[in-house]
A and B are shown apart, each in its own frame.
Chain A
Amino acid sequence: MDFDLMLRVYPFFLKAALVTLELSVLTTALGLGCGALGAAARLSRSTVLRALGASYVSVFRGTPALIQIFILYFGGPQIGIQLDAFGAGVIGLGVNIGAYMTETIRGAIIAVDRGQTEAARTLGLSRSETMRKVILPQAARLMIRPLGVNINALIKGTALVAAISVVELTYTAQRYIGSTYKPFEMFFLAGVIYMVIIYVTGLGVNWLDRRARIT
């Protein structure tokens, strides 16, 4: 293993890792937004909204994220959607992970004991007051860990956008292989950086989970 080479190139990899981080943060934000809307739709009283939510989940979980990104980036212009690679990457990944987050958020909400809703409704709270003041504060705690799992998957998933030439970590590794002919070192280095990001994110999730735990 050529450690010397790795030491020379790693600053460039770190710069690329910033793009991966940026992608991850934006995608998480978009995914949470889509997940919240998706969960609201799936739990709605309206049949139409419920069907829309269910279709969203089955379409985006039922096809490869890479295909979704390709359709958006390469196929988009055909139907009048012009996005640069980074934008297409964020939207493609975000909407995709949003489908998973929809199920995570919905699962946490329905995991709150039915008795909580009954007690709140019995006091005279409306549906929405019950959701806001009683169910969501408890569901929020339940969803921290599974959302952490979604985010973990999403960070690794950002490697997919190398395929539409977003200059993030995986793409950078491929580029350096072109000039160094050392695929083992380059992918290894990228792998280590992914692991550090995942590890630190995991610590963050643990911290949040501990803090949110009910005494």
Chain B
Amino acid sequence: MTEKPFIDIRHAAKSYGTLEVLKDISLQVQKGQIVAIIGPSGSGKSTLLRAINDLDPLTKGEVWLEDMQVNKPLPPRQYERHINQMRQQIGMVFQHFNLFPHLTVRGNITLAPKMLKKLSDAEANALAERELAHVGMLDRIDYYPSQLSGGQKQRVAIARALAMEPKVMLFDEVTSALDPELVEEVNLAMKKLAEEHMTMIIVTHEMGFAQDVCDRVLFMDQGVVVEEGPPEVIFRTPKHERTKNFLRKHLQGNAQ
């Protein structure tokens, strides 16, 4: 663990008025590591994830990606430029897909690379085809999002994020809005990424997936990391009462 962390969250805190959503959280993620964040709703796990690309700015604390501070204090104009640069390196996938409904699958994927990396149409198309093939959606390249199932939309959203060639991918409950039979195809796409050693931080309710794919699991509750460790430890022999309670409820729920 002497290796310099790839992502370094230092003393992250966030509050809305008197409500503390994150209380002094520090988290280091190594390159290629896959981290799951679990916990009850309202525990702050999504807020923490969304702080990494400054979608939900922290009240206090720092987020670093390699040797760059993501939430660097800068005057507004400079900050805007800085954060747009940083975000290009941090891919994110959302619970509700957030595909652009007025663009085709191709348009969704090529928009940012064409605008921000000044790719030509041909280059951007080749990129779209490559990333869609990656998630098994190449045959839908000219469809509109409304013509796709939830699982297909989510795979396109993953391809869209990958097209910016990010250094890390953030997943915010990406299968929570899906019908159960569509969850697997999205999980498979994510497993594939994991096998390619993408650095991933995954907020999830799917304990099975966390157990299979992740190197580390963090259990969060009430704005703090209660417990963390390798999945086999967290899931089999959790130390804290809160973790045990949470897992008991969750595993019961899943067993039905």
Contacts and interface: CB of A to CB of B under 8 A. Distances in A.
A126 interface: yes
Contact of B87 (A116, A123, A133, A215): A123
A205 B138 CA distance: 37
Interface stretch (B94-102, B118-126, B205-213): B94-102
B115 A133 contact: yes
Given A127-B80, A214-B101, A122 B115 contact: no
Interface string A143-180: 00000000000000000000000000000000000000
Contacts, number: 66
A124 interface: yes
A122 B144 contact: no
A124 B84 contact: yes
A124 B85 CA distance: 6
A40 interface: no
Interface in B47-77: 53, 55
B146 interface: yes
Contacts of B87: 121-124
Q: Which of B85, B88, B101, B160 counts the most A-chain CB atoms under 10 A from its CB? A: B101
Contacts of A126: 80, 84
B133 interface: no
Contacts of B161: 122-123
Contacts of B157: 119
B233 interface: no
Interface string B90-134: 111010101111100000000110011000000000000000000
Nearest to A117: B98
Contacts of A125: 84, 111-112, 115-116
B53 A122 contact: yes
Contacts of B160: 123
B96 A115 contact: yes
Contacts of A24: none
B9 to A, nearest CB: 18
A22 interface: no
A49 to B, nearest CB: 15
Contacts of A129: 115
11 contacts: A118-B55, A118-B98, A119-B94, A120-B100, A121-B55, A122-B90, A122-B161, A123-B88, A123-B116, A138-B101, A214-B146
Given A123-B164, A125-B84, A137-B102, 5 more contacts: A115-B94, A119-B157, A122-B53, A124-B84, A215-B146
Interface of B: 53, 55, 80, 84-85, 87-88, 90-92, 94, 96, 98-102, 111-112, 115-116, 144, 146-147, 157, 160-161, 164
Q: Top 4 nearest A-B pairs by Cβ distance? A: A124-B88, A119-B98, A123-B112, A115-B98
